[in-house]
Structure 1
Amino acid sequence: MSIVITNISKSYGKVKALDDISFEVKPGELFGLIGPDGAGKTTLFRILTTLLIADGGKATVAGYDVVKEYKSIRNHVGYMPGRFSLYQDLTVEENLNFFATIFGTTIEENYDLIRDIYMQIEPFKDRRAGKLSGGMKQKLALSCALIHKPKVLLLDEPTTGVDPVSRKEFWDMLKRLQEKDITILVSTPYMDEAALCDRIALVQDGGILQIDTPNAIVKHYPKPIFNVGANNMYRLIESLNGYEYRHSVFPFGEFVHYTDSRPDFDPVSLKRYLESQDLSEIHIEKTRATIEDTFMELAK
């Protein structure tokens, strides 16, 4: 396995950031940690990149123990933290040359690995990193993380704060990197990005709720789920939350995702109830569950 995490725990005072978590990432896999801020994702990444020592448990990356063989890990892992951490007063080219030198290589030696990414920022190679857009900073940080040709790539919320077009471009780049036999562990708070991973772990409050492929996780959602719409969204949500048979009510775009507590739920009865709440233009239609629905159900 490229990454093996066994019973890892970490606390900050009374706050348990990681609570006895275990999972494995296979060679060449694109594995996602999906969860909100405060779920423990960044703490785990810092342990895997040897920047933090766990209170308990064991972890190996690329076959190396994160405590006993931390120097070896640093030579075989590329790390992109959530916050832009390159030298903002250096130019794009100077940053890339700096990181290549640290790892005893050159841009030219591993250019084939970063070509597709670097070509997009090369026109700005003389611009200071601090003056780049969010998407360009992201591409530069990824290039610097890849310059030494790592076996494992660790990306901590790489698309946070980036526009939708740059987010899509970034995930397209990850898919191409995966074809070059690089194992990728990526964390994200965006549920829609979960579907782009081979497998995902849903994390909350330092624990793992579920691990599986995105399709398998959605497939095992326990209840029929319905799109419910009406002329007044605020009143609709308020009314559904007050309905005695409701199991879950979550806003989802222009609709509300609704599940009922009854095994023999009849949408007609719900429509009558909503009409009694002075709602009109009522729409109730069965829909497919999403990763977000599954996460909210498990987190309850």
Structure 2
Amino acid sequence: MTKEVSIDCENLTKNYASATALAGISFKVSKGEIFGFIGPDGAGKTSLFRILATLLLPDNGTASVEGLDVVKDYRKLRQILGYMPGRFSLYQDLTVAENLQFFAGIFRVNIKENYYLIRDIYEQIAPFANRRAGKLSGGMKQKLALCCALIHKPVVLILDEPTTGVDAVSRHEFWEMLIRLKQEHITILVATPYMDEAVLCDRVALIQHGEIMAIDTPESITRAYPDQLFKIKSNNTLTAIRLMKEFEGILSAEMFGDTVHVSAEKGRINAYAIKEYLSEKGMMVTAVSEADPGIEDCFIHLMKQSGVVKNETIIS
């Protein structure tokens, strides 16, 4: 059964004076789907989202949301969109309650009629209803912004890096909210630099330098990883990376927190050979084991495959 399309982009291009933000990307998002755009800063996520939110004009290509063209039908489109930009954009001098009332007034809705949609979120910030928005913590600001984006019951919700800069608990709570919102048949488009959030999406697009490198379910993307992956823990991560890059048969060696992820051709080497090699070089190796690839491993592999040098920091 073919799913209905909510967002449809064809050959979308956006250039700035000194850079290309979007290099002719095409994708579709199904209705009621949580679709994630995964990539580091500068990948093109914000430019894309601003185009879809009718705040930026594309240079070429077409984009439609719920059958409405983002350029020609921008007035109608703004009535069915909920948009949460990367930076907190509510009125800092208004209280929590005043911000919510203001956005309800813009869309000419009564807070009570759509309160069921934001109840779980708003009850967490209700004790601060009379506090100015600018005085809230990062997590509370995030929840208020989501309430204001939802108060008119949008058909499509666009979230540009909504969890950047907030603590791990708030990130977890925010994604629990998104999963509940999906049950209301709202299409959710979310951008994030956090690779661990990718697995919470129905499908993801891996984007870098304005180009989409892969689109699929998180499971399918990781399953397509072609190499054998090893995880190394040692007394000196940087030295381990340097030595592994000199070891015959190694395709890549990258830092992942306090460990090193090493990829090799399947069947070429094993964990014992890696441990012996590093020990011979005078390193204290705590553990070497085979590992299942994650989204970040796949991202790095695709970047290398496309000839892009990995010089950005990807947060894992």
Same fold at TM > 0.5:
yes
- CA deviations 1:58-109 (Å, max 9, x no partner) are 0001221001100000000000000000000000010000010011112112
2:210 pairs with 1:206: yes
2:93 pairs with 1:89: yes
Structure 1: state its 5+ residue gaps. none
**Which of 187, 192, 209 is the equivalent residue of 2:191?**
187
Question: Alignment partner of 1:225: what SS?
Answer: strand
Question: Alignment partner of 1:6: what SS?
Answer: strand
Aligned to 2:142: 138
Structure 2: state its 5+ residue gaps. 305-316
1: CA distance between counterparts of 2:69 and 2:232? 50
1: CA distance between counterparts of 2:273 and 2:200? 38
TM-score, scaled to structure 2: 0.92
Letter of the 2:105 partner, please give it.
T
Q: Is the 8 A contact 2:228 2:267 kept in 1?
A: no
Aligned to 2:160: 156
Question: Alignment partner of 2:31: what SS?
Answer: coil
Question: Alignment partner of 1:110: what SS?
Answer: helix
Q: Is the 8 A contact 2:249 2:268 kept in 1?
A: no
2: CA distance between counterparts of 1:176 and 1:270? 45
1: CA distance between counterparts of 2:10 and 2:101? 36
2: CA distance between counterparts of 1:106 and 1:262? 60
Aligned pairs for 1:288-299 within 5 A: 288-299=292-303
TM-score, scaled to structure 1: 0.97
Letter of the 1:233 partner, please give it.
T
Q: Is the 8 A contact 1:271 1:282 kept in 2?
A: no
1: CA distance between counterparts of 2:255 and 2:67? 44
Among all aligned residue pairs of Structure 1 and Structure 2, give the percentage whose two residues are the same amino acid. 57
- CA deviations 1:215-264 (Å, max 9, x no partner) are 00001101010111223223212211232432111112332111124752
2: CA distance between counterparts of 1:4 and 1:80? 20
2: CA distance between counterparts of 1:281 and 1:33? 36
Q: How many residues align?
A: 300
**Which of 286, 291, 299 is the equivalent residue of 1:287?**
291
- CA deviations 1:132-160 (Å, max 9, x no partner) are 00000000000000011100000000000
- CA deviations 1:164-188 (Å, max 9, x no partner) are 0000000000000000010000000
Q: Is the 8 A contact 1:245 1:262 kept in 2?
A: no
Aligned pairs for 1:100-249 within 5 A: 100-249=104-253
